[in-house]
Structure 1
Amino acid sequence: MSSLKTIHLPQGPLQYLDQGRGQPIVFVHGLLADHQLWLPLLPDLGQGVRCIFPNWPLGAHAKAMKPDADLSVPGVARLIADFIAALDLRDVTLVGNDSGGALVQMVCARHPERIGRAVLTTCDAYDVFPPPAFATLKWWGHVPGLAWVSAQLLHHVPVLRRLPIAFGDLTEGPLADDLIEHWLQPLRKDAGVRRDVRKFLRSVSTRFTEEAGFALQGFNRPVLLLWSTRCRHFPKRLAERLLSELPHAELQWVDSAGVFLSLEHAGQVADNIRRFHQENALQEQPEGKSCAI
Protein backbone atom coordinates (compact mmCIF):
# COMPACT_ATOMS: atom_id res chain seq x y z
CA MET A 1 0.00 0.00 0.00
CA SER A 2 1.37 3.40 -0.98
CA SER A 3 1.75 6.20 1.54
CA LEU A 4 -0.48 9.24 1.51
CA LYS A 5 0.39 12.11 -0.79
CA THR A 6 -0.28 15.76 -0.01
CA ILE A 7 -1.51 18.38 -2.45
CA HIS A 8 -1.57 22.06 -1.53
CA LEU A 9 -4.76 23.73 -2.70
CA PRO A 10 -5.77 27.37 -2.13
CA GLN A 11 -7.89 26.11 0.80
CA GLY A 12 -4.95 24.26 2.38
CA PRO A 13 -3.17 20.88 2.40
CA LEU A 14 -5.15 17.78 1.42
CA GLN A 15 -3.88 14.24 1.91
CA TYR A 16 -4.91 11.44 -0.41
CA LEU A 17 -4.12 7.86 -1.36
CA ASP A 18 -3.57 7.23 -5.07
CA GLN A 19 -3.71 3.60 -6.22
CA GLY A 20 -3.54 2.01 -9.66
CA ARG A 21 -3.56 3.32 -13.22
CA GLY A 22 -6.36 3.97 -15.64
CA GLN A 23 -9.53 6.00 -15.61
CA PRO A 24 -9.96 7.81 -12.30
CA ILE A 25 -12.42 7.02 -9.53
CA VAL A 26 -12.50 9.63 -6.76
CA PHE A 27 -14.10 8.74 -3.42
CA VAL A 28 -15.87 11.09 -1.01
CA HIS A 29 -16.39 9.92 2.58
CA GLY A 30 -18.65 11.68 5.06
CA LEU A 31 -18.29 13.25 8.49
CA LEU A 32 -15.79 11.78 10.97
CA ALA A 33 -14.35 9.30 8.48
CA ASP A 34 -11.38 9.21 6.14
CA HIS A 35 -9.96 7.19 3.23
CA GLN A 36 -9.90 4.00 5.32
CA LEU A 37 -13.66 3.75 4.85
CA TRP A 38 -13.01 2.69 1.24
CA LEU A 39 -9.94 0.48 1.50
CA PRO A 40 -11.86 -2.85 1.60
CA LEU A 41 -12.99 -2.14 -1.98
CA LEU A 42 -9.51 -2.15 -3.47
CA PRO A 43 -9.00 -5.91 -3.94
CA ASP A 44 -12.24 -6.23 -5.94
CA LEU A 45 -12.03 -3.06 -8.03
CA GLY A 46 -9.48 -4.77 -10.24
CA GLN A 47 -7.01 -3.48 -12.79
CA GLY A 48 -7.35 -0.62 -15.23
CA VAL A 49 -8.67 1.96 -12.78
CA ARG A 50 -6.99 4.66 -10.74
CA CYS A 51 -8.58 4.90 -7.29
CA ILE A 52 -8.06 8.18 -5.43
CA PHE A 53 -9.08 8.37 -1.77
CA PRO A 54 -8.73 11.89 -0.30
CA ASN A 55 -9.09 12.73 3.37
CA TRP A 56 -11.64 15.51 3.10
CA PRO A 57 -11.74 18.11 5.92
CA LEU A 58 -14.72 16.60 7.71
CA GLY A 59 -13.29 15.97 11.16
CA ALA A 60 -10.99 12.94 10.76
CA HIS A 61 -8.36 14.65 8.60
CA ALA A 62 -4.84 14.83 10.04
CA LYS A 63 -3.88 18.16 8.45
CA ALA A 64 -6.03 21.22 9.12
CA MET A 65 -6.89 23.57 6.29
CA LYS A 66 -6.02 27.27 6.21
CA PRO A 67 -7.91 29.35 8.80
CA ASP A 68 -9.67 31.38 6.10
CA ALA A 69 -10.71 28.36 3.97
CA ASP A 70 -14.36 28.22 2.94
CA LEU A 71 -15.48 24.88 4.38
CA SER A 72 -19.20 25.45 4.24
CA VAL A 73 -21.15 22.77 2.43
CA PRO A 74 -20.84 24.60 -0.92
CA GLY A 75 -17.21 25.38 -0.07
CA VAL A 76 -16.32 21.70 0.39
CA ALA A 77 -18.10 20.87 -2.88
CA ARG A 78 -15.89 23.52 -4.49
CA LEU A 79 -12.85 21.96 -2.78
CA ILE A 80 -13.67 18.56 -4.32
CA ALA A 81 -13.92 20.16 -7.76
CA ASP A 82 -10.66 22.06 -7.18
CA PHE A 83 -8.88 18.84 -6.14
CA ILE A 84 -10.06 17.06 -9.31
CA ALA A 85 -8.90 19.99 -11.43
CA ALA A 86 -5.54 20.27 -9.65
CA LEU A 87 -4.79 16.63 -10.54
CA ASP A 88 -6.11 17.30 -14.06
CA LEU A 89 -8.51 14.37 -13.81
CA ARG A 90 -11.12 13.96 -16.53
CA ASP A 91 -14.12 11.71 -17.08
CA VAL A 92 -14.11 11.01 -13.34
CA THR A 93 -16.32 8.49 -11.58
CA LEU A 94 -17.22 10.29 -8.34
CA VAL A 95 -18.31 8.03 -5.46
CA GLY A 96 -19.93 9.28 -2.26
CA ASN A 97 -21.29 7.87 0.98
CA ASP A 98 -23.17 9.32 3.95
CA SER A 99 -22.75 13.13 4.02
CA GLY A 100 -20.15 12.64 1.30
CA GLY A 101 -23.01 11.58 -0.97
CA ALA A 102 -24.64 14.96 -0.45
CA LEU A 103 -21.34 16.58 -1.47
CA VAL A 104 -21.14 14.42 -4.60
CA GLN A 105 -24.63 15.60 -5.57
CA MET A 106 -23.55 19.19 -5.15
CA VAL A 107 -20.39 18.69 -7.22
CA CYS A 108 -22.44 17.10 -10.01
CA ALA A 109 -24.94 19.96 -9.86
CA ARG A 110 -22.51 22.87 -9.57
CA HIS A 111 -19.17 21.66 -10.99
CA PRO A 112 -19.89 18.84 -13.47
CA GLU A 113 -17.22 19.68 -16.05
CA ARG A 114 -14.84 16.83 -15.18
CA ILE A 115 -17.42 14.33 -13.92
CA GLY A 116 -18.24 11.42 -16.19
CA ARG A 117 -20.52 9.50 -13.85
CA ALA A 118 -21.46 9.30 -10.16
CA VAL A 119 -22.11 6.60 -7.58
CA LEU A 120 -24.20 7.35 -4.49
CA THR A 121 -24.05 4.78 -1.70
CA THR A 122 -26.62 5.15 1.11
CA CYS A 123 -26.39 8.88 1.73
CA ASP A 124 -28.06 12.18 2.56
CA ALA A 125 -30.50 13.51 -0.02
CA TYR A 126 -33.49 15.84 -0.29
CA ASP A 127 -35.06 16.32 3.17
CA VAL A 128 -32.43 14.28 5.04
CA PHE A 129 -29.26 16.30 5.73
CA PRO A 130 -28.41 15.36 8.40
CA PRO A 131 -30.53 12.38 9.52
CA PRO A 132 -32.61 13.18 12.63
CA ALA A 133 -30.43 10.97 14.87
CA PHE A 134 -27.41 13.15 14.02
CA ALA A 135 -29.10 16.54 14.17
CA THR A 136 -27.26 17.33 17.41
CA LEU A 137 -23.99 17.39 15.45
CA LYS A 138 -25.03 20.76 14.10
CA TRP A 139 -24.55 22.13 17.61
CA TRP A 140 -20.82 21.42 17.25
CA GLY A 141 -20.76 24.25 14.78
CA HIS A 142 -22.38 26.72 17.15
CA VAL A 143 -21.18 25.83 20.66
CA PRO A 144 -17.44 26.41 21.22
CA GLY A 145 -15.74 23.41 22.80
CA LEU A 146 -18.58 20.97 22.19
CA ALA A 147 -16.75 19.07 19.45
CA TRP A 148 -13.73 18.62 21.72
CA VAL A 149 -15.84 17.47 24.67
CA SER A 150 -17.75 15.02 22.48
CA ALA A 151 -14.56 13.56 21.02
CA GLN A 152 -13.05 13.13 24.49
CA LEU A 153 -16.17 11.38 25.77
CA LEU A 154 -16.19 8.99 22.82
CA HIS A 155 -12.51 8.28 23.46
CA HIS A 156 -12.70 7.76 27.22
CA VAL A 157 -16.13 6.09 27.42
CA PRO A 158 -16.11 3.48 24.63
CA VAL A 159 -19.66 2.36 25.31
CA LEU A 160 -20.86 5.74 23.98
CA ARG A 161 -19.54 4.84 20.53
CA ARG A 162 -22.22 2.16 20.23
CA LEU A 163 -25.07 4.62 20.63
CA PRO A 164 -27.27 5.28 17.57
CA ILE A 165 -26.31 8.97 17.76
CA ALA A 166 -22.62 8.03 17.45
CA PHE A 167 -21.13 5.13 15.46
CA GLY A 168 -23.61 2.50 16.61
CA ASP A 169 -25.94 2.29 13.59
CA LEU A 170 -23.46 2.95 10.82
CA THR A 171 -22.71 -0.76 10.43
CA GLU A 172 -24.68 -3.86 11.37
CA GLY A 173 -21.78 -5.30 13.32
CA PRO A 174 -19.67 -3.19 15.69
CA LEU A 175 -17.07 -0.93 14.12
CA ALA A 176 -13.51 -1.78 15.09
CA ASP A 177 -12.36 0.29 18.05
CA ASP A 178 -9.00 1.02 16.46
CA LEU A 179 -10.74 2.50 13.40
CA ILE A 180 -12.96 4.70 15.57
CA GLU A 181 -9.90 5.81 17.57
CA HIS A 182 -8.11 6.66 14.34
CA TRP A 183 -11.04 8.79 13.21
CA LEU A 184 -11.38 10.54 16.59
CA GLN A 185 -7.71 11.39 17.13
CA PRO A 186 -7.48 14.51 14.91
CA LEU A 187 -10.68 15.89 16.42
CA ARG A 188 -9.38 15.30 19.94
CA LYS A 189 -5.92 16.74 19.43
CA ASP A 190 -6.03 19.46 16.75
CA ALA A 191 -7.93 22.72 17.22
CA GLY A 192 -7.54 23.42 13.50
CA VAL A 193 -9.36 20.20 12.62
CA ARG A 194 -12.16 21.12 15.03
CA ARG A 195 -12.34 24.58 13.44
CA ASP A 196 -12.63 22.98 9.99
CA VAL A 197 -15.46 20.60 10.86
CA ARG A 198 -17.33 23.30 12.78
CA LYS A 199 -17.41 25.44 9.62
CA PHE A 200 -18.99 22.58 7.72
CA LEU A 201 -21.52 21.73 10.42
CA ARG A 202 -22.62 25.34 10.82
CA SER A 203 -23.80 25.30 7.21
CA VAL A 204 -25.46 21.86 7.00
CA SER A 205 -29.04 22.33 5.79
CA THR A 206 -31.59 20.46 3.71
CA ARG A 207 -31.69 23.60 1.56
CA PHE A 208 -28.54 22.37 -0.15
CA THR A 209 -29.70 18.80 -0.74
CA GLU A 210 -33.15 19.89 -1.93
CA GLU A 211 -31.59 22.37 -4.36
CA ALA A 212 -29.07 19.79 -5.57
CA GLY A 213 -31.81 17.21 -6.09
CA PHE A 214 -33.76 19.65 -8.23
CA ALA A 215 -30.69 20.67 -10.22
CA LEU A 216 -29.73 17.05 -10.88
CA GLN A 217 -32.87 16.59 -12.93
CA GLY A 218 -30.72 18.19 -15.62
CA PHE A 219 -27.59 16.10 -14.94
CA ASN A 220 -26.99 14.21 -18.19
CA ARG A 221 -24.50 11.63 -16.89
CA PRO A 222 -25.04 8.09 -15.56
CA VAL A 223 -25.65 7.68 -11.83
CA LEU A 224 -25.51 4.41 -9.89
CA LEU A 225 -27.43 4.19 -6.62
CA LEU A 226 -26.19 1.51 -4.20
CA TRP A 227 -28.60 1.60 -1.27
CA SER A 228 -29.22 -0.28 1.94
CA THR A 229 -32.60 -1.99 2.16
CA ARG A 230 -33.10 -1.46 5.90
CA CYS A 231 -31.21 1.70 6.86
CA ARG A 232 -33.19 3.87 9.25
CA HIS A 233 -31.00 6.94 8.69
CA PHE A 234 -31.32 7.00 4.90
CA PRO A 235 -34.59 5.26 4.01
CA LYS A 236 -35.34 3.55 0.70
CA ARG A 237 -37.63 6.39 -0.36
CA LEU A 238 -34.58 8.62 -0.91
CA ALA A 239 -33.08 6.18 -3.41
CA GLU A 240 -36.43 5.66 -5.11
CA ARG A 241 -36.92 9.40 -5.51
CA LEU A 242 -33.41 9.84 -6.90
CA LEU A 243 -34.08 7.00 -9.33
CA SER A 244 -37.31 8.61 -10.52
CA GLU A 245 -35.92 12.14 -10.89
CA LEU A 246 -32.39 11.66 -12.23
CA PRO A 247 -32.47 11.16 -16.01
CA HIS A 248 -29.80 8.42 -16.22
CA ALA A 249 -29.93 6.55 -12.91
CA GLU A 250 -29.96 2.88 -11.97
CA LEU A 251 -30.58 1.41 -8.53
CA GLN A 252 -29.04 -1.66 -6.91
CA TRP A 253 -30.18 -2.69 -3.43
CA VAL A 254 -27.78 -4.01 -0.79
CA ASP A 255 -29.37 -6.18 1.91
CA SER A 256 -28.17 -4.20 4.90
CA ALA A 257 -29.26 -1.88 7.69
CA GLY A 258 -25.92 -0.08 7.68
CA VAL A 259 -24.54 3.10 6.13
CA PHE A 260 -20.89 2.13 5.63
CA LEU A 261 -21.53 -0.49 2.96
CA SER A 262 -17.90 -0.48 1.84
CA LEU A 263 -16.87 -1.98 5.18
CA GLU A 264 -19.40 -4.82 5.38
CA HIS A 265 -20.39 -5.46 1.75
CA ALA A 266 -17.13 -4.62 0.01
CA GLY A 267 -17.42 -7.30 -2.67
CA GLN A 268 -20.91 -6.31 -3.80
CA VAL A 269 -20.12 -2.59 -3.70
CA ALA A 270 -16.83 -2.97 -5.58
CA ASP A 271 -18.33 -5.30 -8.20
CA ASN A 272 -21.11 -2.81 -8.94
CA ILE A 273 -18.76 0.17 -9.08
CA ARG A 274 -16.38 -1.68 -11.39
CA ARG A 275 -19.19 -2.81 -13.71
CA PHE A 276 -20.82 0.63 -13.78
CA HIS A 277 -17.49 2.40 -14.34
CA GLN A 278 -16.47 0.08 -17.17
CA GLU A 279 -19.83 0.02 -18.94
CA ASN A 280 -20.23 3.77 -18.96
CA ALA A 281 -16.59 4.63 -19.55
CA LEU A 282 -16.87 2.84 -22.88
CA GLN A 283 -19.61 5.19 -23.98
CA GLU A 284 -19.01 8.68 -25.28
CA GLN A 285 -20.49 11.02 -22.70
CA PRO A 286 -22.27 14.26 -23.61
CA GLU A 287 -20.59 17.47 -22.53
CA GLY A 288 -21.39 18.54 -19.02
CA LYS A 289 -23.52 21.55 -18.33
CA SER A 290 -23.83 23.53 -15.17
CA CYS A 291 -27.00 22.89 -13.22
CA ALA A 292 -27.49 26.24 -11.57
CA ILE A 293 -28.50 26.33 -7.94
Structure 2
Amino acid sequence: MATIELPAGTLDYSDSGGDGPTVVLAHGPAVDGTLWRHVVAELQDQYRVVVPTLPFGSHLRPMRSGADLSPDGMARLLGDFLEALDLTGVTLVQNDAATGMLLAVSGTPAAGRIARLVLASIEAFDNFPPGLPGRAIWLAAKVPGGLAAAAQPLRFHPLRRLPLAYGLLSRRTVPREIADRWSWPLLHSAGAREDLRTYLRGARPDRLQRAAAEAGGFDRPVLVVWAARDRVMPPAHGRRLAALFPQGSYLEIPDSGTLIPEDQPNALSAAIDTFVSKG
Protein backbone atom coordinates (compact mmCIF):
# COMPACT_ATOMS: atom_id res chain seq x y z
CA MET A 1 0.00 0.00 0.00
CA ALA A 2 1.05 3.57 -0.71
CA THR A 3 -0.30 6.88 0.59
CA ILE A 4 -0.95 10.22 -1.05
CA GLU A 5 -1.72 13.63 0.42
CA LEU A 6 -4.83 15.34 -0.94
CA PRO A 7 -6.60 18.52 0.17
CA ALA A 8 -9.15 16.46 2.13
CA GLY A 9 -6.54 14.25 3.82
CA THR A 10 -4.30 11.22 3.31
CA LEU A 11 -5.52 8.32 1.18
CA ASP A 12 -4.19 4.77 1.11
CA TYR A 13 -4.06 3.19 -2.32
CA SER A 14 -2.56 0.33 -4.26
CA ASP A 15 -0.96 0.60 -7.70
CA SER A 16 0.03 -2.43 -9.74
CA GLY A 17 2.27 -0.30 -11.97
CA GLY A 18 3.12 -1.30 -15.50
CA ASP A 19 2.76 0.30 -18.91
CA GLY A 20 -0.74 -0.92 -19.75
CA PRO A 21 -3.88 1.24 -19.89
CA THR A 22 -4.86 2.65 -16.52
CA VAL A 23 -7.89 1.25 -14.71
CA VAL A 24 -9.01 2.92 -11.47
CA LEU A 25 -11.33 0.89 -9.24
CA ALA A 26 -13.53 2.78 -6.76
CA HIS A 27 -15.67 1.29 -3.98
CA GLY A 28 -18.59 2.43 -1.86
CA PRO A 29 -19.51 2.60 1.86
CA ALA A 30 -18.41 0.14 4.56
CA VAL A 31 -15.74 -1.59 2.44
CA ASP A 32 -12.20 -0.70 1.42
CA GLY A 33 -9.98 -1.26 -1.61
CA THR A 34 -9.67 -4.97 -0.84
CA LEU A 35 -13.14 -5.36 -2.35
CA TRP A 36 -11.31 -5.34 -5.69
CA ARG A 37 -8.60 -7.87 -4.81
CA HIS A 38 -9.82 -10.56 -7.24
CA VAL A 39 -10.38 -8.07 -10.07
CA VAL A 40 -6.88 -6.66 -9.56
CA ALA A 41 -5.44 -10.17 -9.80
CA GLU A 42 -7.28 -10.72 -13.09
CA LEU A 43 -6.33 -7.40 -14.72
CA GLN A 44 -2.89 -6.48 -13.41
CA ASP A 45 -0.92 -8.38 -16.06
CA GLN A 46 -2.41 -6.25 -18.84
CA TYR A 47 -3.34 -3.03 -17.09
CA ARG A 48 -2.05 -0.57 -14.56
CA VAL A 49 -4.66 -1.04 -11.84
CA VAL A 50 -4.98 1.68 -9.21
CA VAL A 51 -7.27 1.24 -6.20
CA PRO A 52 -7.83 4.04 -3.67
CA THR A 53 -9.41 3.35 -0.29
CA LEU A 54 -11.94 6.14 -0.03
CA PRO A 55 -13.19 7.59 3.29
CA PHE A 56 -16.46 5.65 3.40
CA GLY A 57 -16.08 4.32 6.95
CA SER A 58 -13.72 1.36 6.42
CA HIS A 59 -10.63 3.54 6.01
CA LEU A 60 -7.79 3.69 8.53
CA ARG A 61 -6.87 7.36 8.07
CA PRO A 62 -9.64 9.82 8.95
CA MET A 63 -9.82 12.92 6.78
CA ARG A 64 -8.97 16.43 7.91
CA SER A 65 -11.47 18.27 10.06
CA GLY A 66 -13.89 20.21 7.90
CA ALA A 67 -13.18 18.22 4.72
CA ASP A 68 -16.12 18.18 2.33
CA LEU A 69 -17.17 14.54 2.26
CA SER A 70 -20.65 15.07 0.85
CA PRO A 71 -21.36 13.04 -2.29
CA ASP A 72 -20.04 15.91 -4.43
CA GLY A 73 -17.08 16.31 -2.10
CA MET A 74 -16.27 12.61 -2.48
CA ALA A 75 -16.37 13.04 -6.25
CA ARG A 76 -13.95 15.96 -6.01
CA LEU A 77 -11.70 13.88 -3.74
CA LEU A 78 -11.63 11.11 -6.36
CA GLY A 79 -10.82 13.73 -8.99
CA ASP A 80 -8.05 15.12 -6.79
CA PHE A 81 -6.67 11.58 -6.56
CA LEU A 82 -6.54 11.23 -10.36
CA GLU A 83 -4.83 14.61 -10.65
CA ALA A 84 -2.33 13.97 -7.85
CA LEU A 85 -1.15 10.78 -9.58
CA ASP A 86 -1.40 12.47 -13.00
CA LEU A 87 -3.55 9.64 -14.32
CA THR A 88 -4.90 10.21 -17.83
CA GLY A 89 -6.92 8.14 -20.28
CA VAL A 90 -8.41 6.40 -17.25
CA THR A 91 -11.03 3.69 -17.29
CA LEU A 92 -12.86 4.51 -14.06
CA VAL A 93 -14.83 1.63 -12.55
CA GLN A 94 -17.29 2.43 -9.75
CA ASN A 95 -19.21 -0.05 -7.62
CA ASP A 96 -22.04 0.65 -5.16
CA ALA A 97 -21.66 4.42 -4.65
CA ALA A 98 -22.37 7.11 -7.26
CA THR A 99 -19.00 8.81 -6.76
CA GLY A 100 -17.56 7.95 -10.18
CA MET A 101 -20.69 9.07 -11.99
CA LEU A 102 -20.80 12.37 -10.10
CA LEU A 103 -17.18 13.00 -11.08
CA ALA A 104 -17.75 12.03 -14.71
CA VAL A 105 -20.66 14.42 -15.21
CA SER A 106 -19.07 17.26 -13.21
CA GLY A 107 -17.40 18.90 -16.19
CA THR A 108 -14.26 19.56 -14.11
CA PRO A 109 -10.71 19.17 -15.47
CA ALA A 110 -10.40 15.96 -13.43
CA ALA A 111 -13.43 14.54 -15.27
CA GLY A 112 -11.50 15.05 -18.50
CA ARG A 113 -9.02 12.42 -17.31
CA ILE A 114 -11.72 9.74 -17.65
CA ALA A 115 -11.64 8.05 -21.05
CA ARG A 116 -14.19 5.34 -20.21
CA LEU A 117 -16.62 4.80 -17.36
CA VAL A 118 -17.88 1.53 -15.88
CA LEU A 119 -20.78 1.78 -13.43
CA ALA A 120 -21.32 -1.49 -11.57
CA SER A 121 -24.58 -1.64 -9.58
CA ILE A 122 -24.51 1.90 -8.21
CA GLU A 123 -26.84 4.30 -6.44
CA ALA A 124 -29.04 6.02 -9.03
CA PHE A 125 -32.15 8.15 -9.42
CA ASP A 126 -34.22 8.14 -6.20
CA ASN A 127 -32.37 5.17 -4.67
CA PHE A 128 -30.16 7.33 -2.50
CA PRO A 129 -29.32 6.23 0.16
CA PRO A 130 -29.82 2.83 -1.43
CA GLY A 131 -32.07 0.03 -0.27
CA LEU A 132 -32.56 -1.27 3.25
CA PRO A 133 -28.87 -1.22 4.36
CA GLY A 134 -28.30 2.27 2.94
CA ARG A 135 -31.37 3.75 4.58
CA ALA A 136 -30.57 2.02 7.88
CA ILE A 137 -27.12 3.58 8.20
CA TRP A 138 -28.47 6.90 6.90
CA LEU A 139 -30.98 6.96 9.75
CA ALA A 140 -28.33 5.82 12.23
CA ALA A 141 -26.13 8.75 11.16
CA LYS A 142 -28.83 11.18 12.28
CA VAL A 143 -28.65 10.01 15.92
CA PRO A 144 -25.67 10.76 18.21
CA GLY A 145 -23.79 7.50 18.59
CA GLY A 146 -26.05 5.87 16.03
CA LEU A 147 -23.33 4.67 13.68
CA ALA A 148 -21.32 3.18 16.54
CA ALA A 149 -24.42 1.29 17.69
CA ALA A 150 -25.31 0.17 14.16
CA ALA A 151 -21.79 -1.22 13.69
CA GLN A 152 -21.92 -3.51 16.74
CA PRO A 153 -23.27 -6.61 14.91
CA LEU A 154 -20.16 -6.47 12.73
CA ARG A 155 -18.16 -7.74 15.73
CA PHE A 156 -19.62 -11.21 15.12
CA HIS A 157 -18.93 -12.91 11.83
CA PRO A 158 -22.28 -14.76 11.57
CA LEU A 159 -24.20 -11.49 12.08
CA ARG A 160 -22.44 -9.90 9.10
CA ARG A 161 -24.88 -11.85 6.91
CA LEU A 162 -27.82 -9.87 8.32
CA PRO A 163 -29.75 -7.70 5.82
CA LEU A 164 -28.62 -4.57 7.69
CA ALA A 165 -24.96 -5.62 7.33
CA TYR A 166 -23.55 -7.28 4.19
CA GLY A 167 -26.34 -9.82 3.73
CA LEU A 168 -28.20 -7.98 0.96
CA LEU A 169 -25.04 -6.72 -0.71
CA SER A 170 -23.35 -10.06 -1.40
CA ARG A 171 -24.83 -13.45 -2.23
CA ARG A 172 -21.77 -15.12 -0.78
CA THR A 173 -20.25 -14.89 2.67
CA VAL A 174 -17.43 -12.37 2.65
CA PRO A 175 -14.27 -14.11 3.97
CA ARG A 176 -13.75 -13.45 7.66
CA GLU A 177 -10.37 -11.75 7.22
CA ILE A 178 -11.81 -9.34 4.64
CA ALA A 179 -14.93 -8.60 6.66
CA ASP A 180 -12.72 -8.06 9.73
CA ARG A 181 -10.74 -5.49 7.78
CA TRP A 182 -13.86 -3.67 6.58
CA SER A 183 -15.43 -3.71 10.04
CA TRP A 184 -12.48 -2.65 12.21
CA PRO A 185 -12.56 1.12 11.51
CA LEU A 186 -16.37 1.24 11.84
CA LEU A 187 -16.07 -0.41 15.24
CA HIS A 188 -12.95 1.29 16.58
CA SER A 189 -12.36 4.63 14.82
CA ALA A 190 -14.55 7.60 15.73
CA GLY A 191 -12.85 9.53 12.94
CA ALA A 192 -13.78 6.95 10.31
CA ARG A 193 -17.37 6.94 11.53
CA GLU A 194 -17.47 10.74 11.44
CA ASP A 195 -16.27 10.74 7.82
CA LEU A 196 -19.02 8.27 6.90
CA ARG A 197 -21.56 10.33 8.83
CA THR A 198 -20.58 13.43 6.87
CA TYR A 199 -21.14 11.58 3.61
CA LEU A 200 -24.50 10.18 4.70
CA ARG A 201 -25.78 13.56 5.86
CA GLY A 202 -25.31 14.83 2.32
CA ALA A 203 -27.14 11.91 0.67
CA ARG A 204 -30.22 13.30 -1.12
CA PRO A 205 -32.20 11.69 -3.97
CA ASP A 206 -32.45 14.99 -5.86
CA ARG A 207 -28.65 15.02 -6.26
CA LEU A 208 -28.61 11.78 -8.20
CA GLN A 209 -31.63 12.82 -10.23
CA ARG A 210 -29.70 15.91 -11.31
CA ALA A 211 -26.70 13.72 -12.14
CA ALA A 212 -28.92 11.54 -14.32
CA ALA A 213 -30.11 14.65 -16.14
CA GLU A 214 -26.47 15.58 -16.79
CA ALA A 215 -25.48 12.14 -18.11
CA GLY A 216 -26.09 13.17 -21.72
CA GLY A 217 -23.13 15.53 -21.48
CA PHE A 218 -20.66 12.68 -20.93
CA ASP A 219 -19.82 11.69 -24.49
CA ARG A 220 -17.28 8.93 -23.85
CA PRO A 221 -17.95 5.18 -23.70
CA VAL A 222 -19.91 3.99 -20.67
CA LEU A 223 -20.57 0.41 -19.64
CA VAL A 224 -23.31 -0.09 -17.06
CA VAL A 225 -22.87 -3.49 -15.42
CA TRP A 226 -25.60 -4.67 -13.08
CA ALA A 227 -26.12 -7.63 -10.79
CA ALA A 228 -29.13 -9.51 -12.11
CA ARG A 229 -30.10 -10.57 -8.55
CA ASP A 230 -29.44 -7.20 -6.93
CA ARG A 231 -31.74 -6.57 -3.96
CA VAL A 232 -30.37 -3.10 -3.20
CA MET A 233 -29.84 -1.47 -6.61
CA PRO A 234 -32.82 -2.25 -8.92
CA PRO A 235 -31.69 -3.66 -12.29
CA ALA A 236 -34.30 -1.43 -13.96
CA HIS A 237 -32.20 1.52 -12.78
CA GLY A 238 -29.18 0.09 -14.60
CA ARG A 239 -31.04 -0.14 -17.89
CA ARG A 240 -32.39 3.40 -17.50
CA LEU A 241 -28.94 4.69 -16.63
CA ALA A 242 -27.27 3.12 -19.66
CA ALA A 243 -29.86 4.70 -21.95
CA LEU A 244 -29.01 8.19 -20.69
CA PHE A 245 -25.39 8.15 -21.89
CA PRO A 246 -24.74 8.85 -25.61
CA GLN A 247 -22.31 5.91 -25.73
CA GLY A 248 -23.90 3.80 -23.02
CA SER A 249 -24.25 0.02 -23.07
CA TYR A 250 -25.73 -2.40 -20.55
CA LEU A 251 -24.68 -5.81 -19.25
CA GLU A 252 -26.23 -7.97 -16.53
CA ILE A 253 -24.14 -10.39 -14.50
CA PRO A 254 -26.01 -13.40 -13.09
CA ASP A 255 -25.85 -14.78 -9.55
CA SER A 256 -24.49 -11.64 -7.94
CA GLY A 257 -25.47 -9.06 -5.39
CA THR A 258 -24.46 -5.40 -5.38
CA LEU A 259 -20.85 -6.23 -4.55
CA ILE A 260 -20.10 -7.71 -7.97
CA PRO A 261 -16.31 -7.60 -7.35
CA GLU A 262 -16.91 -9.97 -4.44
CA ASP A 263 -19.56 -12.23 -5.97
CA GLN A 264 -18.53 -12.43 -9.64
CA PRO A 265 -15.02 -10.96 -10.02
CA ASN A 266 -14.11 -13.06 -13.06
CA ALA A 267 -17.21 -11.99 -14.99
CA LEU A 268 -16.68 -8.35 -14.06
CA SER A 269 -12.98 -8.48 -14.98
CA ALA A 270 -13.83 -10.00 -18.35
CA ALA A 271 -16.43 -7.29 -18.98
CA ILE A 272 -13.91 -4.55 -18.15
CA ASP A 273 -11.25 -6.13 -20.36
CA THR A 274 -13.63 -6.45 -23.31
CA PHE A 275 -14.88 -2.89 -22.83
CA VAL A 276 -11.39 -1.37 -22.72
CA SER A 277 -10.16 -3.50 -25.64
CA LYS A 278 -12.87 -2.07 -27.88
CA GLY A 279 -11.11 1.29 -27.61
TM-score bracket relative to the smaller structure:
over 0.9
**One-letter code aligned to 2:17:** G
- Report the CA distance between 1:69 and its aligned residue: 0.8
Match of 2:17 among 16, 20, 30: 20
Equivalent position of 1:202 in the other structure: 201
Equivalent position of 2:138 in the other structure: 138
Q: TM-score, normalised by structure 1?
A: 0.90
- Report the CA distance between 1:71 and its aligned residue: 0.6
Alignment of 1:135-214 (within 5 A): 135-155=135-155, 157-214=156-213
C-alpha distance in structure 1 between counterparts of 2:145 and 2:176, whole Å: 24
Percent of aligned positions that are identical: 35
Query: Secondary structure of the equivalent of 2:112?
Result: coil
Q: Does 1:109 align with 2:105?
A: yes
- Report the CA distance between 1:255 and its aligned residue: 0.7
C-alpha distance in structure 1 between counterparts of 2:178 and 2:45, whole Å: 27
**One-letter code aligned to 1:106:** L
C-alpha contact (below 8 Å) 2:125/2:205 kept by paired residues: yes
**One-letter code aligned to 1:12:** G
C-alpha distance in structure 1 between counterparts of 2:177 and 2:122, whole Å: 24
Equivalent position of 1:264 in the other structure: 263
Query: Secondary structure of the equivalent of 2:105?
Result: helix
- Report the CA distance between 1:222 and its aligned residue: 0.4
C-alpha contact (below 8 Å) 1:140/1:201 kept by paired residues: no
C-alpha distance in structure 1 between counterparts of 2:122 and 2:255, whole Å: 14
Query: Secondary structure of the equivalent of 1:118?
Result: strand
Alignment of 1:5-154 (within 5 A): 5-21=2-18, 22-99=20-97, 102-110=98-106, 111=108, 112-134=111-133, 135-154=135-154
Structure 1 segments, 4+ long, off by >4 Å, are none
C-alpha distance in structure 2 between counterparts of 1:203 and 1:256, whole Å: 32
**One-letter code aligned to 2:175:** A
C-alpha contact (below 8 Å) 2:243/2:249 kept by paired residues: no
- Report the CA distance between 1:151 and its aligned residue: 1.8
C-alpha distance in structure 2 between counterparts of 1:235 and 1:63, whole Å: 32
CA offsets 1:255-283 (integer angstroms, 9 cap, x no match): 12411111221111101101211222xxx
Query: Secondary structure of the equivalent of 1:106?
Result: helix
C-alpha contact (below 8 Å) 1:93/1:117 kept by paired residues: yes
C-alpha contact (below 8 Å) 1:141/1:200 kept by paired residues: no
* Structure 1: tracts of 5 or more residues without a match: 281-293
**One-letter code aligned to 1:29:** H
CA offsets 1:98-128 (integer angstroms, 9 cap, x no match): 11xx111100011321111100111111111
Query: Secondary structure of the equivalent of 2:75?
Result: helix
C-alpha contact (below 8 Å) 1:120/1:224 kept by paired residues: yes
Query: Secondary structure of the equivalent of 2:278?
Result: helix
C-alpha distance in structure 2 between counterparts of 1:158 and 1:88, whole Å: 40
CA RMSD of aligned residues (A): 1.4
- Report the CA distance between 1:46 and its aligned residue: 4.9
C-alpha distance in structure 2 between counterparts of 1:271 and 1:28, whole Å: 17
C-alpha distance in structure 1 between counterparts of 2:44 and 2:53, whole Å: 22
C-alpha contact (below 8 Å) 2:227/2:257 kept by paired residues: yes
- Report the CA distance between 1:160 and its aligned residue: 2.9
Question: How many equivalent residue pairs?
Answer: 274
C-alpha contact (below 8 Å) 1:59/1:186 kept by paired residues: yes
